[in-house]
């Protein structure tokens, strides 16, 4: 089943009066259960691609379908609801809410989805246990290491069992050992839950982990490798 | 959003307050102070107003007055010639309709005492009706209220002080020697007087709570004596008798009796240039029919012997405000001051004299012949603590009176009118409205300042959390939910601030309602009369709707303060928010 399909995806930015062509006609499709990396040097358009696929931004031209839905036709609110239901995000800087405990951070997407408090708590505890943080449910972000925070972010992304998890350079802020641990957790979840993962990265180790590697350069697909 | 999500968003908002603790505390304090001040000021103003309204009704005029329509139009001039007869009949009709009434004839004049003079407004009253309707009568601080039929006078305490009549509380040494001790004819009386006065008790007198220092007291002045505390009523009476025997209480009223009368003669130029131009054609013809010019001087003389015509001419002249239609008769009346009034309504204690109506009927008085200028009205058995309500409105009084009159086949005289207390209390209403406006404006400024504070706090908070906002939107929070989260956060500042403010305001209000602020010194400086009908004690009142509204308004205003910066944050694309550092 196709989870994401882009067709001739183009994105231009105006930066200080100059038009930057971040993406120039990228057509890709990702199937359910893929563990794929979009790689490339900085400025290659990999983050832009992820943001467009994650419905955080709108393309200049071309189309995106997430779960078969053409997102161009959706309103701001419908896009928000699509993100809420179907897409999990993992950010380079973790982006946890500092005033909430790890358990509360993880249950937030569930609460937004309308789950009851007890149910959300139980699901969040399970998700935290899956990323190996079953004993840190009461901690606030600043009481945890970078790796632990990123694992909370992973739990937050996967707790609602989304069709798609987008991870924007998830290991960039972590040392290689912690980065590997985090990747192993994600790979494990990909295998056990069948969740589709798409990374953006310029880290060789992440690329090695990926089952499918799409390399971008100057907004175009340079190569595509399946392993 | 479901209830659980709302609870979580609210919980998050509450915790977010702790992230900018100093700013939150300062902003909350600003809201709290604004709310507390508002509650305090509002309670104070309400207290003064309630007390003033009660005091106007209870001490000054009852709920309404009957006057002639012409009198009401010129009431500030106290036009004694616009009087009306037959108050006894009206009083009986009012009693049948369930109202108490008190007749008055109000006039102005100068009161001469042995030691001074003062312009006064005199209320000629029926002591019995007055005592029943108004409450100042028992507040005769020394002496007694005048007796019916006698040329006796009670004066306001301020007038008494100016005229140096009555019993002085704090005489200077020389005043004491000459006027008080000097009034005692026998050694026994002198000893008695000496026993009543002593050194003033200023030095170690404990201050009353909430009193302000007496700035009016100069640093150096002639030595003063004071009437001792605990002087009994009998002793005061005896002292009054001693002082009265010395002539201290003897006074003379100098007044001008204004009566409407068609002038016997009018000078040519006045007739032609003043009187005729103020009349319309018909009235001119009427006046010309009664007056004829003198062939030698050109002046006009009343030539008509027809009383009906003369009275119509007079009415025409009065209606046109022709000053020649009022005849002035100088009158001197010897009287004796028998009491000094000092009630909780400063209007009764100022330059006012009270004299029995019955004593002024003939040539020795004002030649009233039963006329009065007004009848004061209050519901029979009305509670003093009650402000006149709809049952005592002029319309209600008039309706009740009309029913009584109709039963006898009579009607309410056409030239009279019933008017409510508000129509006569312009000075109080102006003072009250002015204070109301200035206080509300002042408080509005405070609220604006708090609002700016909250806006600033929220602007900074939302700006600092731009990245977090982007993340929340990436997680699937809609614009509405983000807006709700931030308005809740700001609303919480308002709610906590106003809760503290309400608590603070109420705590201040408790002693303000129970004891009030004693402003006697400041009030003396202002001459005791500043519009409000209260004497030297500002007492607050509870105003629950305003207290509740303060909390609601402060909370809503605070919440609203978060809307502009949130909308600004929401205009930023999510990707840009996420990159924001």
- Judged by a CB distance cut-off of 8 A, whether residue A108 touches chain B is yes
Partners of B483 on chain A (C-beta within 8 Å) are: none
* Dihedral sign, Cα of residue B467, residue B468, residue B474, residue B476: negative
Name the residue among B376, B336, B324 with its Cα closest to residue B134.
B376
Contacts of residue B65, defined as CB under 8 A and 6 or more positions apart, other chains included, come to: B374, B375, B376, B377, B418, B419, B421, B424
Name the residue among B18, B574, B456 with its Cα closest to residue A95.
B574
Helix axes of A76-86 and B466-474: crossing angle, nearest 10 degrees: 70
- Judged by a CB distance cut-off of 8 A, whether residue A20 touches chain B is no
**pLDDT above 70: residue B489:** yes
Nearest to B4 among A51, A56, A116 (CB): A116
Nearest to A84 among B7, B475, B573 (CB): B475
* Beta carbons of B57 and B136 less than 8 angstroms apart: no
CA B528 to CA B520: how far, in whole Å?
Answer: 8
Cα B85 to chain center, whole Å?
A: 30
CB–CB contact A115 B4 (8 Å): yes
For residues B271-291, average pLDDT: 88
CB–CB contact B476 A95 (8 Å): no
* Beta carbons of B372 and B107 less than 8 angstroms apart: no
Q: Where are the alpha helices (DSSP H) in B173-280?
A: 173-175, 187-196, 233-245, 268-269
Nearest to B473 among A80, A82, A109 (CB): A80
Residue A26's pLDDT is what? 93
Residue B203's pLDDT is what? 47
More confident residue, A179 or B204: A179
pLDDT in tens, B93-122: 999 999 999 999 999 999 999 888 999 999
Residue B178's pLDDT is what? 87
Look at A191-205, B99-113, B347-361, B510-524 and tell me which has the smallest mean pLDDT. B510-524
Q: Where are the alpha helices (DSSP H) in chain A?
A: 46-53, 76-86, 102-113, 117-130, 146-158, 176-193, 204-209
Q: Residues of B numbered 453-472 whose beta carbons fall under 8 angstroms of chain A's beta carbons: which are they?
A: 467-468, 471-472
More confident residue, B7 or B287: B287
Residue among B11, B476, B576, B579 with most chain A CBs within 10 A, to mutate: B476
CB–CB contact A111 B5 (8 Å): yes
Partners of A163 on chain B (C-beta within 8 Å) are: none
CA B235 to CA A189: how far, in whole Å?
Answer: 104
- Judged by a CB distance cut-off of 8 A, whether residue B215 touches chain A is no
Nearest to A114 among B2, B479, B480 (CB): B2
Percent share of chain B, pLDDT over 70: 92
CA B378 to CA B392: how far, in whole Å?
Answer: 7
Take residue A165 and report the two structure tokens written for it. Answer: 């998890």
Phi, psi of B157 (to 5 degrees): -65, -35
- Judged by a CB distance cut-off of 8 A, whether residue B571 touches chain A is no
Phi, psi of B356 (to 5 degrees): -65, 135
CA distance B505 to chain A (A): 33
Q: Which of B54-58, B91-95, B463-467 holds the top average pLDDT?
A: B91-95
- The number of C-beta contacts closer than 8 angstroms across A and B is 81
pLDDT bracket for residue A42 (50, 70, 90): confident
* Beta carbons of A22 and A45 less than 8 angstroms apart: yes
Other beta carbons less than 10 A from residue B515's beta carbon:
15
Nearest to B575 among A57, A76, A85 (CB): A57
Partners of A109 on chain B (C-beta within 8 Å) are: 475-476
Residue B396's pLDDT is what? 93
CB–CB contact B467 A95 (8 Å): yes
Element (H, E) at A101: none
Whole-structure pTM value? 0.69
Look at A69-78, B216-225, B468-477 and tell me which has the smallest mean pLDDT. B216-225
Q: Where are the alpha helices (DSSP H) in B119-208?
A: 127-133, 157-163, 173-175, 187-196
CA distance B547 to chain A (A): 33
Residue B202's pLDDT is what? 56
Q: End-to-end CA distance of chain B, in Å? A: 30
CB–CB contact A80 B468 (8 Å): no
Cα B322 to chain center, whole Å?
A: 33
CA B369 to CA B257: how far, in whole Å?
Answer: 13
Residue A93's pLDDT is what? 86
Contacts of residue B375, defined as CB under 8 A and 6 or more positions apart, other chains included, come to: B65, B66, B67, B87, B90, B91, B94, B101, B102, B103, B104
Look at A87-91, B360-364, B504-508 and tell me which has the smallest mean pLDDT. B360-364
Name the residue among A37, A208, A98, A106 with its Cα closest to residue B18.
A98
Q: Give the 3-state secondary structure of B332-397.
A: EEEEEEEEEECCCCHHHCCCEEEEEHHHHCCCCCCCCCCCECEEEEEECCCCCCCCCCHHHCHHHH
Q: Is A15 helix (H, G, I), strand (E, B) or coil?
A: strand
Q: Is A26 helix (H, G, I), strand (E, B) or coil?
A: strand
CA distance B27 to chain A (A): 20
**Burial class for B456, CB neighbours closer than 10 Å (0-12, 13-18, 19+):** middle
For residues B212-224, average pLDDT: 58
Partners of A83 on chain B (C-beta within 8 Å) are: 473-476
Residue among A95, A122, A166 with most chain B CBs within 10 A, to mutate: A95
CA A67 to CA A81: how far, in whole Å?
Answer: 13
CB–CB contact A83 B476 (8 Å): yes
CA-based nearest residue in chain A for residue B577: A56
CB–CB contact B8 A111 (8 Å): yes
Name the residue among B336, B355, B333 with its Cα closest to residue B163.
B336
pLDDT in tens, B179-211: 888 888 899 999 999 999 988 765 444 555 555
pLDDT in tens, B365-418: 877 788 899 999 999 888 877 888 888 899 999 999 999 999 989 999 988 999
For residues B475-481, average pLDDT: 90
Mean pLDDT of chain B: 85
For residues A38-65, average pLDDT: 91
Q: Is B170 helix (H, G, I), strand (E, B) or coil?
A: coil
**pLDDT above 60: residue A107:** yes
For residues A202-209, average pLDDT: 88
The residues with which A73 forms a beta bridge, in sequence order, are: none
pLDDT bracket for residue A24 (50, 70, 90): very high
**R_g over Cα of chain A:** 17
Running DSSP on this structure, what letter comes out for residue A92?
A: T
Nearest to B476 among A107, A112, A116 (CB): A112
Count helices and strands (H / E) in chain B.
20, 17
C-alpha dihedral over A134, A139, A144, A149, to 10 degrees?
60
Partners of B481 on chain A (C-beta within 8 Å) are: 112
Look at A89-93, B257-261, B333-337 and tell me which has the smallest mean pLDDT. B257-261
């Amino acid at each position: 089943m196709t989870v994401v399909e882009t067709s001739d995806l183009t994105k231009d930015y105006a930066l200080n009066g100059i038009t930057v062509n971040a993406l120039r006609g990228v057509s890709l499709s990702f199937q359910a259960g893929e563990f794929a990396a979009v790689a490339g040097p900085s400025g290659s358009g990999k983050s832009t691609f992820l943001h467009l696929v994650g419905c955080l931004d709108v393309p200049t031209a071309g189309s995106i379908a997430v779960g078969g839905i053409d997102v161009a036709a959706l309103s701001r609110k419908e896009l928000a609801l699509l993100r809420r239901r179907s897409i999990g995000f993992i950010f380079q800087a973790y982006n946890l809410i500092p005033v909430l405990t790890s358990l509360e951070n993880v249950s937030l997407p569930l609460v937004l989805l309308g789950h009851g408090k007890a149910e959300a708590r139980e699901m969040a505890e399970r998700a935290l246990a899956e990323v190996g943080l079953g004993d840190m449910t009461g901690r606030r972000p600043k009481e945890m290491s970078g790796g632990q925070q990123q694992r909370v972010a992973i739990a937050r992304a996967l707790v609602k069992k989304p069709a798609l998890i987008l991870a924007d350079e998830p290991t960039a802020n972590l040392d290689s050992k912690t980065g590997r641990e985090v990747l192993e957790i994600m790979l494990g979840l990909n295998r056990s839950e069948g969740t589709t993962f798409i990374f953006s990265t310029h880290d060789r180790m992440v690329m090695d982990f990926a089952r499918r590697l799409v390399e971008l350069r100057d907004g175009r697909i340079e190569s595509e490798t399946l392993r | 959003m479901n209830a659980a999500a709302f609870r979580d968003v609210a919980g998050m908002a509450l915790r977010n307050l702790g992230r900018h603790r100093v700013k939150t505390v300062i902003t909350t304090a600003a809201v709290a102070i604004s709310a507390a001040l508002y509650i305090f000021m509002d309670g104070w103003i309400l207290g003064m107003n309630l007390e003033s309204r009660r005091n106007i009704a209870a001490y000054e005029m009852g709920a309404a007055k009957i006057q002639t329509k012409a009198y009401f139009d010129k009431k500030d001039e106290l036009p004694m010639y616009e009087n009306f007869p037959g108050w006894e009949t009206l009083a009986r009709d009012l009693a049948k309709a369930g109202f108490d009434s008190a007749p008055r004839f109000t006039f102005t004049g100068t009161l001469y005492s042995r030691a001074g003079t003062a312009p006064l407004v005199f209320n000629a009253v029926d002591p019995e009706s007055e005592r029943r309707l108004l409450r100042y009568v028992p507040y005769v601080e020394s002496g007694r209220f005048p007796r019916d039929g006698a040329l006796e006078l009670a004066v306001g305490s301020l007038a008494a002080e100016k005229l140096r009549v009555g019993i002085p509380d704090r005489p200077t040494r020389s005043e004491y020697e000459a006027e008080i001790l000097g009034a005692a004819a026998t050694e026994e009386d002198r000893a008695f007087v000496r026993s009543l006065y002593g050194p003033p008790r200023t030095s170690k007198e404990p201050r009353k709570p909430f009193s302000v220092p007496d700035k009016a007291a100069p640093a150096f002045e002639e030595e003063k004596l004071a009437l001792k505390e605990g002087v009994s009523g009998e002793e005061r009476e005896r002292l009054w008798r001693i002082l009265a025997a010395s002539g201290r209480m003897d006074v003379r009223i100098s007044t001008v009796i204004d009566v409407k009368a068609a002038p016997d003669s009018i000078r040519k130029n006045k007739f032609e240039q003043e009187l005729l131009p103020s009349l319309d054609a018909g009235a001119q013809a009427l006046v010309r029919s009664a007056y004829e010019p003198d062939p030698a001087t050109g002046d006009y003389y009343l030539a008509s012997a027809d009383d009906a015509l003369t009275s119509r001419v007079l009415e025409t002249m009065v209606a046109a405000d022709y000053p020649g239609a009022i005849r002035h008769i100088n009158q001197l009346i010897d009287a004796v001051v028998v009491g000094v009034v000092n009630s909780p309504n400063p209007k009764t204690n100022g330059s006012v004299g009270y004299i029995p109506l019955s004593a002024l009927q003939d040539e020795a008085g004002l030649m009233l012949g039963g006329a009065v200028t007004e009848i004061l009205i209050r519901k029979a058995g009305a509670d003093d603590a009650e402000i006149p309500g709809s049952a005592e409105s002029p319309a209600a009084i008039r309706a009740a009176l009309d029913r009584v009159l109709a039963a006898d086949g009579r009607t309410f005289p056409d030239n009279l009118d019933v008017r409510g207390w508000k129509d006569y209390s312009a000075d109080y209403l102006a003072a009250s409205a002015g204070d109301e406006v200035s206080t509300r404006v002042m408080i509005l400024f405070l609220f604006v300042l708090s609002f700016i504070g909250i806006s600033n706090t929220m602007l900074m908070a939302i700006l600092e959390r731009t990245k977090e906002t982007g993340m929340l939107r990436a997680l699937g929070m809609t614009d509405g939910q983000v807006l709700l989260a931030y308005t809740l956060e700001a609303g919480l500042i308002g709610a906590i601030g106003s809760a503290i403010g309400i608590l603070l305001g109420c705590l201040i209000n408790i002693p303000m309602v129970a004891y009030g602020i004693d402003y006697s010194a400041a009030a003396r400086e202002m001459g005791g009369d500043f519009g409000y009908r209260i004497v030297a004690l500002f007492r607050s009142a509870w105003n629950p709707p305003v207290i509740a509204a303060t909390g609601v308004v402060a909370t809503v205003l605070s919440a609203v303060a978060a809307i502009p910066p949130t909308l600004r944050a929401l205009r930023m694309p999510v990707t840009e928010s996420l990159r924001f550092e």
